[in-house]
Amino acid sequence: MKDKADRSIAEIPLQEALTEWLKVFKYPTIQRSTYDGYEANARSYIFPHMGKIRVKDITPIMIKRLFNTMMERGLAYSTTQKTRLILNEFFRYLERSNRIEHNPMKPVPPIKRTVYESAQGKEYKA
């Protein structure tokens, strides 16, 4: 049986893969407060929604549902954008290093702030 180090990152749950990526690639390159924010965001929003799903099984629909759920729960636009940033950087890294065939973030369009806040019954003020 293969041990954890031998498994492809695409085969492990998103929570495990993203946590490792944050520790190895983000922690040494960003301020501690930014890293703590990334970690808290992942724990609060990403992991409960799709943390147990294998990386290779994550689809654009799952990601879009996460963002829609965040919007429906009334979370701040900036919180959803931070979540998008984390997932985008993570999947871009996997794609560039040939660890996944398709980046599930590519087809997920960003939500415009006006649309996001309008869906929450708020009026956006620039």
pLDDT in tens, 85-99: 999 999 999 999 999
Asked whether the predicted pLDDT for residue 123 surpasses 90, the reply is no
Q: In degrees, to the nearest 5, what angle opens at C-alpha 84 toward C-alphas 60 and 109?
A: 50
What pTM does this model have? Answer: 0.88
Cα dist from 120 to 29, 46, 70, 102, 123, whole Å: 35, 20, 10, 32, 9
The span from the CA of 60 to the CA of 108, in Å, is 6
3-state secondary structure of 54: strand
